[in-house]
Amino acid sequence: MEKVLDRVIHRPTQTSDYWSALSIAADDAEFLYGFILEAGRPQRIADLARALIRHRVDQENAALRRQWADNNIYQPKKRYTIGERLVFPALKFASGQVVDVRPGNNPDLGAFEVIAVQFDDGRRREFAANYHRPHRLNDEDATALFDAAPLKSPEELYEVHGQRVVAALEAAFESNNEFIRIGDEWFLRAMMAEVNIGHLNLAEAVLDMANGGPLTTDVILRDLGLPPDVGANVQEASLNNALAMDPRFDEVSLNDTPAWFLRRLEPVEVREMPEPLRAERLSGRTTISPELAALAYELDDELEFDEATPVSPAQSATFILTYPHRRAGTLGWSRAAASVLPQSHKPRIPMRFKDRLTQKEMIVWLVREGRYIWGLGDWFKANDLPAGAYIELARSDAENVVWIDYRRRRPKREWVRVASMRDGRLHLETAQRAVACEVDELMSVFVDDPRMLDALRNERRRDVMQAVREAFPEIAKLSPQGNVHARTLYAVVNVITRSAPTDVFAALTAIGTYVPVGDNYWHLGER
């Protein structure tokens, strides 16, 4: 009977069209207002969406019960009279009128009656009535069919349609002055405690005494003296909102518990992108070969990382340290790094990296806007890592700790590519240097005097085309065949101009004086 009901009674909440066209009505807002009021604390938008779905389903069930309350649903145990109209759930909710009543004739079943029903489609059938022996239809509550098991539960509906409901709710709340956003949560404006400029100045002083933070909201509240008659949850929500509106403060937690940092005490390299990471992008429309496009993807430069594309979590990741990041003391927040790092959309987050061998911890900052991880300069220097070194990141058991390591080996002197400046231009040569780690030989670049290359980069800023023209012959002269691998070109161009691999390869192709010779090697062609 339940399956029959599911086919016959139309339930809009079970359809995609219903949730796709969802509009937040006034009674929805009123329900959610009461939901937050009863909870007494801010609510995540996902929890509010679940509550709204459950509320809509409950409303639908109640409407169905009201709709069928006045209908006489057939059950064998009841007595019926001629003229009564009946509904038969087991017959796809067909309805008809009782046209005859007579005594039953079966000694084995005892006394009962037989009713004849003329259905609306012209059929005529007979049914037992005033029948009190055990029977499935006598035992069931017909209204319970409206909660039929085959229907998707509110939780299952959220899994399918939750994102649409969340989007509709956020849009409605943004235009409703009764609700206020606090980070990733929503609260009632009427429940907020007053937080004035004096309270905010005290909060700044508290964070100043803690070297900037981070401190959680409950810790900051201890020194603020908000009214004691206001509940702790409301105090935290009110202060979180006030701090979020004040540019002096940054919310920097990795989880749902807000933690605050004093913006002016954040490292300058966190507040402003380090100079070596400031990229030059190639203007105009250009194309590259599928082989170069595949190589660009493999190089995994954060300049080409699309945050809208989902990244599958990984336990560990390995990538290659490029010169701009070596000089800035950073790593790129690329696809590989994002697969290991905690997911967050906050602008700046401090967390801990831990050296796999020494167990020494360091504070690093994840900077979302520039897609870089700052705070590794001392670690690079202590381990004498050159551009081209393999860096490994791995998850730990703690949410805010990531293991960091490099591919260690016994130091030995090797012939390597060394970059310097000569006559105001990039100069490459091969020379012997001590190497204490594994490197990508196509991308390794040793620099003895980084400040000299800073001057080379800053005195005359080169666009990507100029950087390719300057780097290509310097690389080519180090090869007996005069060939240049696109991977090496990308690494060397980034010594003098921060560039994305696709831009470097597009410039290489567009210049027109270089020709591919296979396996991503290029050669200077005849003019």
- The answer to whether the beta carbons of residues 339 and 351 sit under 8 Å apart is no
Residue with more model confidence, 365 or 40: 365
The CATH number of whichever domain residue 237 belongs to comes to: 1.10.10
Number of structural domains, the chain? 5
Do residue 203 and residue 258 come from a single domain?
yes
Whether the pLDDT of residue 242 is over 70: the answer is yes
Per-residue pLDDT of 453-497, as tens digits, reads: 888 888 778 889 999 999 999 999 999 999 999 999 999 999 999
Assess if residue 372 is contained within a domain. Answer: yes
CA-CA-CA-CA torsion sign (474, 479, 480, 481): negative
Q: Is the N-terminal amide bond of 386 cis, ω within 30° of 0? A: no
- Collect all residues with Cβ–Cβ distance below 8 Å to 156 and sequence separation of at least 6: none
Q: What percent of the chain has pLDDT over 70?
A: 93
Do residue 35 and residue 156 come from a single domain?
yes
Do residue 454 and residue 516 come from a single domain?
yes
Q: The domain containing residue 459 runs over which residues? A: 416-432+444-524
Do residue 423 and residue 348 come from a single domain?
no
Q: In the prediction, which pLDDT does 120 show?
A: 86
Q: Of 265, 292, 323, which closes a domain? A: 265
Reported confidence tier of residue 506, pLDDT bands at 50, 70, 90: very high
What the block records as the tokens of 292 is: 């170069």
DSSP codes, 72-99: -B--TTS---TT-EEEEGGGTTEEEEEE
Assess if residue 76 is contained within a domain. Answer: no
Per-residue pLDDT of 165-214, as tens digits, reads: 999 999 999 889 889 887 678 888 888 888 889 999 999 999 999 999 89
Q: What are the angstrom distances between the C-alpha of 75 and each of 68, 110, 132, 138? A: 15, 17, 10, 6
Whether the pLDDT of residue 225 is over 60: the answer is yes
Per-residue pLDDT of 336-368, as tens digits, reads: 999 999 888 889 999 999 999 999 999 999 999
Do residue 90 and residue 226 come from a single domain?
no
Whether the pLDDT of residue 431 is over 90: the answer is yes
Assess if residue 291 is contained within a domain. Answer: no
Q: Give the separation between CA 433 and CA 172, rounded to whole angstroms.
A: 63
Do residue 65 and residue 167 come from a single domain?
yes
Per-residue pLDDT of 129-174, as tens digits, reads: 998 888 777 665 555 555 444 678 889 899 989 889 999 999 999 8
Assess if residue 209 is contained within a domain. Answer: yes
Do residue 452 and residue 517 come from a single domain?
yes
Assess if residue 286 is contained within a domain. Answer: no
Assess if residue 500 is contained within a domain. Answer: yes
Average pLDDT over residues 255-266: 91
Assess if residue 177 is contained within a domain. Answer: yes
Do residue 473 and residue 324 come from a single domain?
no
Enter the pTM of the model. Answer: 0.71
Assess if residue 438 is contained within a domain. Answer: no
Helix (H) or strand (E) holding 50: helix 45-69
Q: In the prediction, which pLDDT does 144 show?
A: 55
Scan for tokens 């300069």, then name that residue. 377
Q: What percent of the chain has pLDDT over 90?
A: 56
Do residue 59 and residue 161 come from a single domain?
yes
Do residue 428 and residue 510 come from a single domain?
yes
Reported confidence tier of residue 306, pLDDT bands at 50, 70, 90: confident
Q: In the prediction, which pLDDT does 6 show?
A: 39
- The answer to whether the beta carbons of residues 442 and 414 sit under 8 Å apart is no
